[in-house]
């Protein structure tokens, strides 16, 4: 069978934004159809809930502790293990189009390859790889890179500036005049990082990523085997889709999410039951993620602002679904559809009003940890459609691509090929996933270790500047799906907590030494 793999990732997309996962706000018929034909995973979790560590895990099949990207701003070494390198060496054509973010993109000094590529006009750059052999950058022979907006040095920014310079300033400006993360809102409600973007849809980065993907595919031979990572920057904040698309969903008609307690008293009661950094962030006394504007206080978030954010987020999800549909149609037109494996997922979720909060950070709850993950195996493989309830992780994608390509899974990968059903998961003992958070930012150090197992999520807090190491979180996903009641100190589940913590500690992956340094904010 011919090997062709399309990995589709979004950025910061919640599980419940897809129709196949019960979402009702965004229309996602393309992904829903893939789920109906293939395998939908109900409990897929990331190994980190922030961009750079999570994306490095997708590429390497390793935990953040092992590949070394422990927080945003830590660049993945150019000789880090990469599944794309293995696929390229096996004879597959390889491309990454869209957002990569293995290296900081706030890089005014031009220290990193992914910022230099567009300036030079090169498709890739040759490096010594993890096995000492030369090869294209991280295994990708073709790169066309984009991020959120049109400022910077990546291919999309260069393309927009060269072809439509009048549109460069239409995106939300993430940094304000003081070079601080912007908290201004330019929508209807004053919600932070919202703007009604006047850029034409056909110039917007979502359609640009799809267009560049189709261009690359058009340049391949009919018999070529290939691996393409198509990576959309949305629906990550800022929420600034083209204004021409705002008619799709009127935020005034959007119901409040189940995770948003409508009264301040209810929000504060829930937050006070969690470790103290939750409430500190809500009150504006702590910022533990650089992307969250320090001048914005979450307790000021209004119900209408939550509605507007969710509406714009859903519009961005619809545009992604439509763009994916165009790419799949182009693939079918080449006669490749029967031998095409498609994987759709994201790097992490978004709070999006849950608990009265926005953005992301050291919060290991479903808002950020429950990911959309759909795998449509090549129809020619004859895989039976299924829903998998066993926990799987982004760490399992690289081994899956090896299996699809007929390659042996290397020992340095720490995940396992995705199970095709729950019977397969049980037979292989797939019953837990690990997630970690480490951040040292603005003088604040927060360190979390989490295990998902047996319908429970258990998080141990390591000593830092906010916590002394005695705190934690424990939630039953069945009894408390919104994770509003922290049972860490509940005597009734003390034995279970101790068992989960013991397994969590015993399962920690080896850590890269010495620790890599933070070289940029994000």
Q: What is the mean pLDDT of residues 456-483?
A: 98
102: nearest Cα among 53, 151, 46, 64: 53
Alpha-carbon torsion (18, 19, 20, 22), positive or negative:
positive
Which pLDDT value is given to residue 261? 95
Is the separation of the CB atoms in 72 and 52 below 8 Å? yes
Question: What confidence tens digit (pLDDT) does each residue in 4-48 have?
Answer: 999 999 999 999 999 999 999 999 999 999 999 999 999 999 999
Domains (range + CATH), the chain: 4-430 (3.40.720.10)
Which pLDDT value is given to residue 521? 87
Average pLDDT in the chain: 96
Q: What is the mean pLDDT of residues 377-385?
A: 97
pLDDT confidence bin for 474, thresholds 50/70/90: very high
Residues 18/21/24/25 CA torsion (nearest 10 deg): -30
Q: Do β-strands 386-388 and 392-393 pair in parallel, antiparallel, or remain unpaired?
A: unpaired
Please give the Cα distance from 310 to 32 (Å, whole number).
Answer: 20
Which pLDDT value is given to residue 249? 98
Percent of the chain with pLDDT over 70: 100
C-alpha 484 chain-centroid distance: 23
Residues 30/36/41/46 CA torsion (nearest 10 deg): -10
Percent of the chain with pLDDT over 90: 93
Q: What is the mean pLDDT of residues 328-345?
A: 98
Spell 244-263 as b/e; 16+ CB within 10 A means b. ebbeebebeebeebebbbee
Which pLDDT value is given to residue 1? 74
Strand, helix or coil for residue 299: helix
Which pLDDT value is given to residue 434? 99
Please give the Cα distance from 331 to 340 (Å, whole number).
Answer: 9
pLDDT confidence bin for 160, thresholds 50/70/90: very high
Stretch among 126-130, 149-153, 180-184, 189-193 having the lowest mean pLDDT = 149-153
Which pLDDT value is given to residue 297? 97
Instruction: Give the other-Cβ count within 10 Å of 327's Cβ.
Output: 22
Task: Report phi then psi at 235, rounded to 5.
Answer: -90, 30
- Tell if the pTM clears 0.85, that is, is over it: yes
pLDDT confidence bin for 247, thresholds 50/70/90: very high
pLDDT confidence bin for 156, thresholds 50/70/90: very high
pLDDT confidence bin for 55, thresholds 50/70/90: very high
Which pLDDT value is given to residue 373? 99
Residue 105 has pLDDT above 90, yes or no: no
Which pLDDT value is given to residue 176? 86
Which pLDDT value is given to residue 398? 99
Strand, helix or coil for residue 231: strand
Which pLDDT value is given to residue 266? 98
């Amino acid at each position: 069978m011919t090997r062709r793999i399309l990995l589709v990732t979004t950025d910061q997309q919640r599980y419940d934004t897809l129709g196949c996962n019960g979402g009702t706000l965004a229309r996602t018929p393309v992904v829903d159809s893939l789920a109906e034909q293939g395998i939908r995973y109900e409990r897929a979790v990331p190994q980190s809930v922030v961009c750079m560590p999570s994306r490095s895990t997708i590429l390497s099949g390793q935990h953040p502790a092992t590949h070394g990207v422990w927080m945003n701003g830590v660049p993945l070494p150019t000789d880090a293990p990469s599944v794309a390198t293995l696929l390229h060496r096996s004879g597959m054509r390889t491309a990454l189009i869209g957002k990569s973010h293995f290296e900081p993109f706030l890089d005014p000094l031009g220290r990193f390859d992914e910022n230099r590529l567009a300036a030079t006009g090169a498709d890739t750059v040759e490096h010594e790889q993890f096995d000492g052999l030369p090869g294209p950058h991280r295994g990708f022979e073709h790169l066309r890179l984009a991020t959120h907006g049109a400022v910077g040095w990546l291919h999309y920014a260069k393309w927009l500036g060269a072809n439509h310079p009048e549109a460069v300033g239409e995106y939300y400006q993430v940094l304000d005049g003081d070079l601080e993360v912007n908290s201004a809102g330019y929508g209807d409600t004053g919600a932070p990082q919202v703007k009604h973007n006047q850029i034409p849809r056909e110039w917007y980065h979502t359609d640009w990523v799809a267009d560049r993907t189709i261009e690359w595919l058009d340049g391949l031979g009919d018999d070529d085997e290939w691996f393409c990572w198509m990576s959309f920057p949305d629906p990550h904040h800022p929420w600034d889709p083209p204004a021409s698309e705002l008619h799709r969903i009127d935020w005034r008609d959007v119901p409040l999410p189940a995770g948003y307690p409508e009264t301040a008293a209810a929000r504060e009661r829930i937050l006070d039951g969690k470790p103290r950094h939750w409430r500190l962030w809500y009150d504006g006394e702590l910022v533990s993620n650089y992307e969250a504007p320090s001048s914005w206080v979450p307790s000021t978030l209004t119900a209408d602002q939550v509605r507007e954010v969710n509406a714009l987020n859903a519009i961005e999800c619809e545009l992604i679904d439509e763009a994916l549909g165009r790419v799949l149609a182009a693939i079918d037109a080449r006669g490749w559809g029967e031998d095409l494996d498609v994987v759709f997922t994201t790097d992490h979720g978004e709070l999006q009003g849950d608990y009265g909060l926005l953005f992301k950070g050291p919060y290991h709850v479903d808002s950020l940890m429950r990911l959309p993950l759909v795998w449509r195996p090549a129809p020619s493989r004859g895989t039976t459609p299924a829903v998998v309830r066993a926990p799987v992780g982004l760490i399992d994608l690289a081994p899956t691509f090896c299996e699809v390509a007929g390659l042996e899974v290397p020992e340095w990968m720490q995940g396992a090929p995705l199970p095709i059903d729950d019977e397969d998961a049980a037979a292989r003992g797939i019953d837990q996933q690990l997630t970690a958070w480490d951040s040292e930012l603005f003088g604040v150090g927060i360190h979390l270790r989490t295990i998902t197992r047996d319908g429970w999520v258990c998080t141990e807090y390591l000593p830092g500047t906010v916590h002394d190491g005695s705190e934690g979180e424990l939630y039953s996903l069945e009894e408390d799906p919104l994770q509003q009641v922290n049972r860490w100190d509940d005597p009734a589940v003390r034995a279970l907590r101790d068992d989960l913590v013991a397994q969590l500690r015993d399962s920690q992956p080896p850590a890269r030494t010495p620790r890599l340094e933070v070289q940029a904010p994000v």
